[in-house]
Structure 1
Amino acid sequence: MSKFVAALPMYDWPEARGEVDAQWVLLRDAIRQRGIDAPEAVVRSNRELPAVPGGILDSAGKLIAPDSATLPPDELDFHQLWLSPALLFGQTCWGPMELGLARHVQVIAQPNYDAFEGGQGELYSSALVMAADGGPPIASPRDGKAVIPIDLLRGRRFTFNNPDSMSGLIGLTRDLEAMGESLDIFASRSESGGHRSSIVAVAEGRADIAAIDCQSWALAQRFEPAARGVKIVGWTARRKGLPYITARITPAAVVAAMREAVAAVEGGASEQPLVQRVG
């Protein structure tokens, strides 16, 4: 059994788990072909993470996360996963990275978003969705610049997936700031807990507007009935998509080999070793 763990949690909807598993099999085999003991399957719960008695420490010996054995076993704490010293291959968001996670992990590569409207290469954007009114949706702009309908958004109830989300909150905040505006244009702001929950909240009338990253929007169109009750009214600017990461202690040679493996499997995936604010 491998001493490492792997996870692809960011788009791991229940209906898409077979596809996520298949994605990992391709990545796993490409990584193993380069002499690395990649785990057989991805983890989906805290109980599958190796225990770290005393908790996880940073390079200075400071406690940054508890022992996974102390967490609810049937849940998956993303920060616990990301900070695990056993993490060989994972996936995160640039929001948490910019808020401190980048100090504790290494970036392997950026995935390719060409398959999704609103994506281009390693860049992705978020669809701004409101209740459907019979009008046509706004198409993603070819130049990747933000399309923010300020007058339509002003005074509305905004919901977002979580406070450290680039796609659900931070990206839109920056686009508004670039226009001389802020989140204060909204009558209220609420946290939904996930992109899917945000779509449902808008469709059910509990919120008026949400920003949904383009890959989550594609999943919603396939699997979430509430998506039929909303439409796209704008787009955030394109930014770096969700990076693949590995533990801080993963040797450089292993990181380089995994970059080769990702490029072999995903083609357009690219290395992004530094934190970069885009837009």
Structure 2
Amino acid sequence: MSESIAALPMYDWPEVRGEVDSQWAQLRDAFRQEGVDAPQTIVRRNGDLPPVPDGIRDAQGAAIAPDPASLSPDELDYHELWLHPALLFAQTCWGPMELGLSSHVQVVGQPSYDGYEGGQGELYSSALVMRTGEGPEVHSPADGKAVLPFDLLRGKRFTFNNLDSMSGMIGLTRDLQAAGESLDIFSSRSESGGHRTSIVTVAEGRADVAAIDCESWALAQRFEPAAGKVVIVGWTERRKGLPFITARTTPENTVRAMREALAGLAEQPRIQREG
């Protein structure tokens, strides 16, 4: 039995748990064919993470995260997952990676966003959404450049999923700066805790605009009724999507085998070898 852990938490909405499990089964079987002892199932709770009695430590022995056993067992702390020494495979975001996570993990590959409006290969963008009727609908531009309707955004209330989110906060911040603007274009900013919650917040009138990554937007159109009350009024620039990662201590031959497995799945939707 594998002692490693895996997770695919970033698009693991309750309505698609079965689809996510199937995605992992495809990955798991491909990894095993390359000789990787991949776990049978993915983890979804802190309680599923193996205990680390002395806390999670970096290569120099400094504490970087607490023992998972000390956290609420029914929640999932993403940073705890990403930093866990037993991590074989998971998704993360380039926001946390740029903010320090990259020194503790290895990138294994990138997913493909070809199946989503706003996506192209390993690149994705975020839809800027407002309530229906507050602006004309805008489709993703072919060139992947940012489309920022300054006249609509100015003075509005902005809600975002997390401060360290590339799709919900950092990417838009950079696009505004490139255009000579800043987040000060908004009258207020509030943290929602998730893309789905951001959509609901806008639809219910508690905020006016949010940036929703293109895959989350596709999920919302399938499963979130509030998505029918908002419209896309702009897009952020396309950037690298969510990377697949493994622990910094994962052996080189294992990382190489997982990359070979991803290469073998390259013709399948959502899977693409590291560029």
TM beyond 0.5: yes
1:233 equivalent to 2:236? Answer no
Does 230-239 or 133-142 show the bigger shift?
A: 133-142
Deviation, 1:264, is 1.7
| 1:8-46, Cα deviation, whole Å (9 max, x unpaired) | 000000001110000000000000001111000100000
Alignment CA distance shift 1:70-1:170 (3 Å): same
Match of 2:137 in 1: 137
Q: Is the contact between residue 168 and residue 210 of structure 2 (CA under 8 Å) also seen in structure 1?
A: yes
Residue identity opposite 1:246 in structure 2? T
Match of 1:270 in 2: 273
Residue identity opposite 2:117 in structure 1? E
Instruction: Measure, in 2, the Cα distance between the counterparts of 1:4 and 1:158.
Output: 39
Match of 2:36 in 1: 36
Task: State the aligned residue count.
Answer: 272
The percent of aligned pairs where both chains have the same amino acid is 72
Q: How does 1:105-120 map to 2 (within 5 A)?
A: 105-120=105-120
Deviation, 1:134, is 8.1
Alignment CA distance shift 1:15-1:167 (3 Å): same
Runs of 4+ that moved beyond 4 A? none
Match of 1:223 in 2: 223
Residue identity opposite 1:126 in structure 2? S
Q: How does 1:47-58 map to 2 (within 5 A)?
A: 47-58=47-58
Does 254-263 or 177-186 show the bigger shift?
A: 254-263
Q: Is the contact between residue 24 and residue 41 of structure 1 (CA under 8 Å) also seen in structure 2?
A: yes
Match of 1:253 in 2: 253
Residue identity opposite 1:75 in structure 2? E
Stretches of structure 1 that go unaligned for 5 or more consecutive residues are: 273-279
Q: Is the contact between residue 135 and residue 152 of structure 2 (CA under 8 Å) also seen in structure 1?
A: no
Instruction: Measure, in 1, the Cα distance between the counterparts of 2:203 and 2:242.
Output: 26
Residue 16 of structure 2 aligns to a residue whose secondary structure is: helix
Match of 1:25 in 2: 25
Instruction: Measure, in 2, the Cα distance between the counterparts of 1:41 and 1:246.
Output: 16
Deviation, 1:265, is 2.0
Match of 1:146 in 2: 146
Instruction: Measure, in 1, the Cα distance between the counterparts of 2:272 and 2:24.
Output: 15
Deviation, 1:100, is 0.2
| 1:159-188, Cα deviation, whole Å (9 max, x unpaired) | 000000000000000000000100000000
Residue identity opposite 1:44 in structure 2? R
Instruction: Measure, in 1, the Cα distance between the counterparts of 2:151 and 2:193.
Output: 27
Match of 1:196 in 2: 196
TM-score, length-scaled by structure 2: 0.97
TM-score, length-scaled by structure 1: 0.96
Residue identity opposite 1:18 in structure 2? G
Residue identity opposite 2:15 in structure 1? E
Instruction: Measure, in 1, the Cα distance between the counterparts of 2:134 and 2:263.
Output: 42
Question: Over aligned residues, Cα RMSD in angstroms?
Answer: 1.0
Instruction: Measure, in 2, the Cα distance between the counterparts of 1:227 and 1:47.
Output: 32
Residue 234 of structure 1 aligns to a residue whose secondary structure is: strand
Stretches of structure 2 that go unaligned for 5 or more consecutive residues are: none
